[in-house]
Amino acid sequence: MTEHREQTVVADAIDRLIDSYPPATTEAKVFWGAQFDAGLAWVDFPEGHGGLGVSPKHREMVQRHLVEADAPTWNRTANVLGIGMGAGVLAAHGTDEQRMRWLRPMFTMDDIWCQLFSEPGAGSDVAGLSTRAERDGDEWIVNGQKVWTTLAHLAKWGLLVTRTDPDQPKHKGMTYFVVDMEAEGVEILPLYQITGEAEFNEVFFSDTRIPDDQRIDDVGAGWRVAMTTLMNERVAIGGNPVPRNHGAIGVAMDTWASSGTGDQATRRELVRLWGEVEAMRLTTLRASENMKAGVPGPEGSTGKLAWADLNKEVTSFTVSMLGLEGATIPEGYALEATTYDTREIERVMSPQRHFLRSRANSIEGGTSEIMRNILGERVLGLPGEPRVDKDLPWKEVPRG
């Protein structure tokens, strides 16, 4: 299909969706189901799997038109580990049966997803992980601990990387599964953040059984699938262009307007930040054109790195405009588990809380130091870091 033809196909599908399911009178879940069936969940995925088999560059057009039509789109952020990452993994590595089983309820938010990669001894170096999976007939038995698992307390399914062959070097002996978070032997404990919320958790697996048909890709291919997940994560975090004047810069503009801060320096700073956010938004749009279905390239790290710094800068600026008021959280500080309704969070989350939450941006989804390493090595072609344990069997690598 030519680009022009693809555009027409997508535009027609959007019009039909909005005509048949008017956003103002359609319940959100019904709308998302219809959006999936119309191929407008991830336009680049094959037909029947939430897509139309066109270029991923048209994703932005769908998002833009749906926002303009006031259609519900908050499932993307509320189920970001599924829609932003799990979907890409299933598109690139899943079987047809797995895609049929998981993609639709993921998009409609009937199933929330989480990502079980980080462990107490393996964060940046996720390939060093220790959670074991041992085969037992048609099942696998999992034992170990994960940490910082966002939304595990609400999730039905988890993207899990495990060690299946400790005799292999660390990148080679891993296998990837989708785990039922309600299965026996899964224990989830909340971890509280600086904002007061428990958005993430510790997760313990004790003889948890996973059927082999929930394995993603081959035994031993876990690192390959993990890389697809992480590339998608960087795009989901930093590469998802919000419409112009939305997100943190929108909050900064509103705060500026309502604070009555008339001085030149503040206005100049706001305009400078607006320019940077807009340049970032346009760069992200351009980068999304290079993306193949389900597998973004290492350049996704550029967006993640730049966004983390910029988001922190913009939220700091907003809080500074509030003066002394910026030092307190107006809605109060209470320890509570995160709800999945991000519309509610957006409504109640003050700029002060946004500021605190943004501190995590340069850690979650890979730290900014790791983003710089990836860009240096995989985009700029600079010499790699020394990796002395690369070819050693995992069980011989010293661990803290």
Ligand X SMILES: Cc1cc2nc3c(=O)[nH]c(=O)nc-3n(C[C@H](O)[C@H](O)[C@H](O)COP(=O)(O)OP(=O)(O)OC[C@H]3O[C@@H](n4cnc5c(N)ncnc54)[C@H](O)[C@@H]3O)c2cc1C
For residue 83, give every residue at least 6 positions away whose Cβ sits within 8 Å of its Cβ, in sequence order, or none. 41, 75, 76, 106, 107, 236
Minimal distance, residue 209 CB to ligand X, in Å: 21
* Closest CB 351 distance from ligand X, rounded Å: 18
Contact residue for ligand X among 45, 113, 176, 200 (CB under 6 A): 200
Judged by beta carbon, residue 217 or residue 364, the one nearer ligand X is: 364
Confirm if 320 and 273 have CB atoms less than 8 A apart. Answer: no
Cα dihedral 200, 206, 212, 213 in deg (nearest 10):
-40
Q: Which stretch binds ligand X (CB under 6 A): 47-55, 211-219, 305-313, 361-369?
A: 361-369
- Pairing state of beta strands 113-116 and 157-163? parallel
Name which of residues 97 to 116 contact ligand X (CB under 6 A).
114-116
Q: How far is the CB of 113 from ligand X (least distance, A)?
A: 10
Q: What's the rounded Cα separation, in Å, for the pair 138 and 80? A: 30
Which range touches ligand X (CB under 6 A), out of 137-145, 235-243, 345-353, 367-375?
367-375
Task: Give the nearest distance from C-beta 14 to ligand X in angstroms.
Answer: 31
Residues with a catalytic annotation lie at 233
Name the residue nearer to ligand X (CB basis): 329 or 363: 363
Inter-CA distances, 12 with 54, 77, 128, Å: 13, 26, 48
Residues in region 34-93 near ligand X by CB under 6 A: none
Considering the complex, what minimum distance in angstroms separates the CB of residue 5 from ligand X?
A: 39
Complex with ligand X: residue 40 or 155, whichever CB lies closer: 155
Please give the C-alpha separations between residue 163 and each of 118, 132, 224, in angstroms, as whole numbers: 13, 5, 13
Question: Rounded CA gap, 311 and 277, in Å?
Answer: 9
Task: Please identify, using beta-carbon distances, which residue of 96 and 369 lies nearer to ligand X.
Answer: 369
Asked if 48 and 38 count as a contact pair (C-beta separation under 8 A), the reply is no
What's the Cα-to-Cα distance from 196 to each of 310, 312, 329, rounded to whole Å?
23, 18, 10
Give min distance, CB of 147 to ligand X, in A: 7
* Number of shown-chain residues binding ligand X (CB under 6 A): 20
Q: How far is the CB of 332 from ligand X (least distance, A)?
A: 21
Q: Are 75 and 107 in contact (CB under 8 A)?
A: yes
Alpha helical stretches, state H, 218-259: 222-238, 247-259
Among the listed residues 26, 149, 350, 352, the single contact to ligand X using CB under 6 A: 149
What element of type H or E holds 188? strand 186-191
- Binds ligand X by CB under 6 A, chosen from 23, 123, 297, 393: 123
Instruction: State which of residues 20, 124, 206, 328 lies at the interface with ligand X (CB under 6 A).
Output: 124
Cβ nearer to ligand X, comparing 261 with 367 = 367
With binding defined as CB under 6 A, does residue 150 bind ligand X? yes
Cα 1 from Cα 167, distance rounded (Å): 48
Stretch that binds ligand X, among 90-98, 117-125, 176-184, 344-352 (CB under 6 A): 117-125
In the complex with ligand X, the residue whose CB is nearer, 201 or 214, is 201
One residue of 32, 107, 148, 317 binding ligand X per CB under 6 A: 148
Containing 146, the helix (H) or strand (E) segment is strand 139-147
Beta bridge partner(s), residue 141: 134, 209
**Contact, 305 vs 370, CB < 8 A?**
no
Candidate ranges 69-77, 94-102, 118-126, 291-299; the one touching ligand X (CB under 6 A): 118-126
Q: How far is the CB of 193 from ligand X (least distance, A)?
A: 7
**Segment contacting ligand X by CB under 6 A, of 96-104, 215-223, 357-365, 374-382:** 357-365
Shorter beta-carbon distance to ligand X: residue 85 or 273: 85
- Report helix, strand or coil for 383: coil
Among 104, 98, 93, 82, residue whose Cα is nearest residue 212: 98
Options 367, 375, 377, 393; binder of ligand X; rule CB under 6 A: 367
CA distance 228 to 320: 38
Taking phi over 0 as left and psi of -120 to 50 as alpha, with beta for the rest, 185 belongs to: left
- Which residues contribute to the site for ligand X (CB under 6 A)? 114-118, 123-124, 148-150, 200, 360, 363-364, 366-367, 369-370, 373, 385
